[in-house]
């Protein structure tokens, strides 16, 4: 729907109600050129991030049972990564 500024000024309340009812935007023109657009108000529903990826993965196999590999933290295979760290005071030697 389109209307000039003079017509809009005279009928603005009725036109706003019509936009709300029909959900059709109203273009306001001045000297034949569009200058404004009245659109119906849309309630914004807050987006919840909880569960937004539900149903996007598929679990195949057993994810509960151990995989049969030793954990390197228990076997000592990665001890060199922890050299110089002092767990008792939380400082270590990284500040030297």
Question: What is the reported pLDDT for 71?
Answer: 80
| Helices and strands in the chain: count of H runs, count of E runs | 2, 3
Averaged pLDDT score across all residues of the chain: 85
Question: What is the reported pLDDT for 67?
Answer: 81
**C-alpha to C-alpha distance for 92 and 90, rounded to whole angstroms:** 6
Over range 38-55, report the average pLDDT: 85
Read off the pTM.
0.46
**Using an 8 Å Cβ cutoff, are 72 and 78 in contact?**
yes
């Amino acid at each position: 729907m389109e209307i000039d500024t003079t017509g809009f000024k005279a009928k603005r309340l009725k036109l706003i109600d019509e936009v709300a009812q029909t959900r059709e935007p109203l273009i306001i023109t001045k000297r034949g050129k569009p200058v404004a657009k009245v659109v119906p108000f849309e309630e914004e529903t807050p987006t919840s991030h909880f569960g937004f990826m539900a149903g996007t993965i598929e679990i195949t196999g057993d994810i509960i049972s151990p995989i049969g590999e030793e954990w390197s933290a228990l076997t000592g295979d990665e001890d060199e990564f922890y050299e110089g760290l002092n767990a008792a005071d939380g400082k270590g030697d990284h500040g030297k």
